[in-house]
Amino acid sequence: MLIHEDRLFPVDRDTRAVARRLYERVRDLPLVSPHGHTDPRWYAENEAFPDPATLFVIPDHYIFRMLYSQGVQLEDLGIPTRDGSAVERDPRKIWRLFASHYHLFRGTPTRSWLDHTFATLFGFEERLSAVTADAYYDRIDAALRTPDFRPRALFDRFNIEVIATTESPLDELKSHETIRQSGWGGRVVTAYRPDPVVDPDFQGFRDNLVRFGALTGCETATWDGYLEAHRKRRAFFRSYGATSTDHGHPTARTADLPRHEAEALFGRVSKGEASAADAELFRAQMLTEMAAMSVEDGMVMQIHPGSSRNHNRFIVERFGRDMGADIPSQTEYVGALKPLLDRFGNERDLTVILFTLDETSYSRELAPLAGHYPALKLGPAWWFFDAPEGMKRFRELTTETAGFYNTVGFNDDTRAYLSIPARHDVARRVDCAYLAGLVTTHRLDEDEAHEVAYDLAYRLAKEAYKL
């Protein structure tokens, strides 16, 4: 078998028995996926996925960054280059290359997600390898040609209740409009990711401001016009179901400048005259401005700091952004968030969800902050920490201070559509294993553990994101 029935459950028999009982009650709950990077065109066009390599390998940085680390060239994996130079176009060759390196994923969450997908969707019992590569390819390729493997059919099969995609303020949301006009019943909403017009270091930032103004009819060369443009785009995104904003800043720093200082800062930023310190201060100020807008319109804020994005200059120059070279960095929250919290931390109608790539901050900073401020919640899994051990450590380091109810359930943050059920299954198993330990050490009664398991698997994410 590729996947064991008791995977991720405790070894101790008594604790494992409790974990099994908890899991049985939550395993088939609907999936709430409040933040991710699946392509809305999949749901809009409902076309068949082209081939196994294009579905599994080419779009998934979890896969190709590991292969790249072991000397596999991205060109050989079919990853498109910025200049259009030649890359491998034969999907079977790409798949064989991936399969021959499958051993590299031993012990990783990627391996568990893939094995779960291969077993539950395609019925494989033998492990992927160079020997089985063609058998895998042929079976998956044949399945992808059938109606049951179209995006909308899989949406129903996966029991997805709602999924949020993530779009730039410059996106016209045409795919979301197509979904709306189609009459299909699947619920796909968008989320507002303003980085291209908030981060002065974002490629094309000044041109983006011009486009931002054209889309909104606002004078984005002025501070007031720029803020009004955000309000208009947020309202536009809300008309397509958006309940959240998403902010991928290098740090968690916030600021609350007097109006004349903020206006002068924006003047330097918009004219391309900003220093590195100005750019960081502007991002900090905009987190507080976004919080102010969230108080106005009710949108939930997600803050994803602490990533040194696009760290590999060669990869960025040759292949572009978001190619698996985002590296965690040490992140400070207590002082960084104070300007925002001084202004909005006690707002009971505001929800700011904090994520981190620096897990050393969980017990030291994040849990005490979320365990006090009404506006703050903790997002338990994102990127590196949507791994089983990371999920377990999150519960161990935050529950004593923040409890369960200052967290927001599981957030799968995926680009790989077929792995969504596997990711949720891992989260449910890890949480049930953790709760089972509390039961068998007599810190929680089993009836309470069943309630918490349900909340972590389903209710908290739905309620926190207002879905």
> What are the tokens at 269?
């930023």
In a domain, 2, yes or no: no
Question: Is residue 220 located within the same domain as residue 339?
Answer: yes
Give the closest residue to 230 by CA, choosing from 244, 214, 216.
216
CATH number at 81 reads: 1.10.2020.10
Question: Is residue 26 located within the same domain as residue 89?
Answer: no
Mean confidence (pLDDT) of the chain: 95
Q: Given 98, 122, 149, which residue is the final one in a domain?
A: 149
In a domain, 3, yes or no: no
- Grade residue 297 by pLDDT with cuts at 50, 70 and 90: very high
Amino acid at 466: K
Residue whose tokens read 């923040």: 402
Q: What are phi and psi of 303, to 5 degrees?
A: -115, 120
Q: Does residue 212 carry a pLDDT above 80?
A: yes
Q: Compute the residue count for the chain.
A: 467
Question: Is residue 145 located within the same domain as residue 198?
Answer: no
Q: Does residue 59 carry a pLDDT above 90?
A: no
**pLDDT score, position 115:** 97
Q: Given 86, 114, 149, which residue is the final one in a domain?
A: 149
Each residue's pLDDT tens digit, 415-448 = 889 999 999 999 999 999 999 999 999 999 999 9
Each residue's pLDDT tens digit, 304-337 = 998 888 898 988 889 888 888 788 889 999 999 9
- Grade residue 384 by pLDDT with cuts at 50, 70 and 90: low
Question: Is residue 216 located within the same domain as residue 344?
Answer: yes
321 or 252, which is more confident: 252
304 and 355 Cβ atoms separated by less than 8 Å: yes
Range of the domain at 72: 50-149
Q: Does residue 223 carry a pLDDT above 90?
A: yes
**pLDDT score, position 239:** 98
**pLDDT score, position 98:** 98
Q: Mean pLDDT throughout 223-227?
A: 98
Question: Is residue 203 located within the same domain as residue 214?
Answer: yes
> What are the tokens at 153?
């059919």
The domain total for the chain is 2
Please tell me the distance from the alpha carbon of residue 446 to that of residue 449, in angstroms, as a whole number.
5
Cβ atoms within 10 Å of 141's Cβ, excluding its own: 18
Cβ atoms within 10 Å of 298's Cβ, excluding its own: 13
Amino acid at 24: E
Each residue's pLDDT tens digit, 97-153 = 999 999 999 999 999 999 999 999 999 999 999 999 999 999 999 999 999 999 999
**pLDDT score, position 381:** 63
In a domain, 1, yes or no: no
Question: Is residue 57 located within the same domain as residue 45?
Answer: no
User: What ranges make up the beta strands (E) of 173-286?
Assistant: 188-189, 244-247
> What are the tokens at 19?
């974990």
- Grade residue 382 by pLDDT with cuts at 50, 70 and 90: low
Question: Is residue 232 located within the same domain as residue 101?
Answer: no
Q: Does residue 386 carry a pLDDT above 80?
A: no
Q: Compute the C-alpha angle 219/220/224, nearest 5°.
A: 80
Q: Does residue 383 carry a pLDDT above 70?
A: no
Question: Is residue 62 located within the same domain as residue 17?
Answer: no
Order across the sheet with 188-189: list the strands: 31-33, 160-164, 188-189
Q: Which of 118-127, 209-218, 246-255, 413-422 has the lowest mean pLDDT?
A: 413-422
In a domain, 429, yes or no: yes
With 0-12 CB in 10 A as exposed, 13-18 as middle and 19+ as buried, what is 441? exposed
Question: Is residue 208 located within the same domain as residue 331?
Answer: yes
Question: Is residue 194 located within the same domain as residue 287?
Answer: yes
Q: Does residue 385 carry a pLDDT above 80?
A: no
Please tell me the distance from the alpha carbon of residue 256 to that of residue 263, in angstroms, as a whole number.
12
Question: Is residue 39 located within the same domain as residue 93?
Answer: no
In a domain, 59, yes or no: yes
In a domain, 349, yes or no: yes
- Grade residue 55 by pLDDT with cuts at 50, 70 and 90: very high
**pLDDT score, position 323:** 81
Q: Mean pLDDT throughout 85-94?
A: 96
